Amino acid sequence: MSLFDRDRSAARMPVSLVTGFLGSGKTTLINRLLRHPGMAATLVVVNEFGDVGLDHLLYERVDGETVLMQSGCVCCTVRSDLETTLRDIAAKRAKGALPPFERVLIETTGLADPAPIVQLLLNHPLTAHDFRLDAVITTVDAVHGARQLDEHREPVKQAAIADRLLITKADLATADQMQALRLRLGFLNPGAGMHEVRHGAIEPERLFGAALFDPARKTADVRRWLNAEAYDAPVHAHDLNRHGTDIESFCLAFDEPLDWQAVHDWLAAIRRERGEDLLRVKGILNLAGESAPVAIHGVHHVFHPPVQLEAWPEGDDRRSRIVFIMRGLDRAAIAESFASFCIRAAA
């Protein structure tokens, strides 16, 4: 009998999070999305209705905090406690008090650290039962983004933990600005998909579907979720120094099956000693004694409970692979720490 829970992603509501620094175009993006017919069956959670242009849209008030948009999506405001908002949404959905919806999109403020919301979706007993993290989407200003990354910590972290990077206001930037920003974001977060956005226009489907679970195929898509190949591209030290960041993104791979207790103790030690620097971890593990892969996913000190998938995808690489996005620790230091835990486990 396995020690791990089976994946139940299909039973939970996918949630995508839109974050980005002040002035990076989130409100423009949300305004365009609210008018898009592809947003039908989507619940959009915004900070304030006043931040989005509802006046020129057709909408129907559902209750004191929720409106039904012309596109068919439902829009509601974030309360001071997002946990309370999500619990209220789940309760109303269960009672049939909201129009049917199949996914949730949450907008954060420009200065928000997205990590607490990600943690809420990964492993909070009152929300994780009904919702699951789908994608973290970060907007980056094509014209001012490089300067903002130089001068502020928030946009660096927002970009580092993203699954999708949207370069906004691309129509206002020069070719050199676009190339330099793409290069910089690629160093910071090589595994994230990158898209250019003009006037806030983007197909809604680009904002969903980054999670391990693929709703179209009703199964896990390991290769797409990890995107481990993106971390194999060489990054030269002088380029990293020039970009002035201490964030490292890398993937560790292990050919032989791993001992779960050693992995568990190792990750627990990293969280305990360097949790604030552990921006994001995603991994697929081939564990000794287990016939199917085990997925791990965490941000800072909070990890989703390890989940066992149904089976290894046919033809997929069966090595254990763990993607790290870390501040102040490089691949060599993490690999060395793991080796020491393996030695202890074998002793």
Taking the domains of the chain in order of start, what are their residue ranges?
5-214, 242-346
- Cβ neighbours of 98 (radius 10 Å): 20
Task: Please state, in angstroms and rounded to a whole number, the distance separating the CA atoms of residues 213 and 9.
Answer: 6
From start to end of 119-179, where are the E strands? Answer: 131-141, 164-168
Burial of 162 (0-12, 13-18, 19+ CB in 10 A): buried
pLDDT (0 to 100) of residue 213: 85
Burial of 265 by CB count in 10 Å (0-12 exposed, 13-18 middle, 19+ buried)?
A: middle
pLDDT computed for residue 95 by the predictor: 92
Percent of the chain with pLDDT over 70: 90
Residue closest to 200 by CA, chosen among 15, 23, 16: 23
Q: Can you list the residues of the chain whose pLDDT is less than 70?
A: 1-2, 50, 54-64, 233-245, 344-347
Distance between CA atoms of 242 and 233, rounded to whole angstroms? 18
Name the burial class of residue 123, with classes exposed (0-12), middle (13-18) and buried (19+) by CB atoms within 10 angstroms of its CB: middle
Q: What is the pLDDT of residue 58?
A: 63
E strands along 158-277, which residues?
A: 164-168, 193-196, 213-214, 219-220, 247-254
Q: Give the CATH number of domain 242-346.
A: 3.30.1220.10
Instruction: Give per-residue pLDDT as tens, 4-19.
Output: 777 777 789 999 999 9
Q: Kindly list the distances between the CA atom of residue 49 and the CA atoms of 55, 149, 333, in Å, as whole numbers in the listed order.
A: 10, 29, 47
Q: What angle do CA 12, 16, 17 make, to 5 degrees?
A: 135
If 0-12 CB within 10 Å is exposed, 13-18 middle and 19+ buried, where does residue 109 land?
middle
CA distance 295 to 285: 6
How far is it, in rounded angstroms, from Cα 36 to Cα 116?
29
Specify the pLDDT at position 242: 43
Q: Which residues contact 203 (CB under 8 A, 6 or more apart)?
A: 36, 38
Query: CA nearest 231: which of 252, 259, 256, 213?
Result: 252
Residues 180 and 140: beta-carbon distance below 8 Å: no
User: Which pLDDT score, from 0 to 100, does residue 236 have?
Assistant: 42
- List the CATH code of the domain at 5-214: 3.40.50.300
Q: Any idea which residue has 């305004």 for tokens?
A: 31
Whether the CB-CB separation of 185 and 194 falls below 8 Å is answered with yes
Residue 144 pLDDT: 94
Identify the pLDDT of residue 313: 78
Query: What is the pLDDT at residue 272?
Result: 95
Q: What is the pLDDT of residues 60-92, one digit of tens each?
A: 666 667 777 777 788 888 777 889 999 999 999
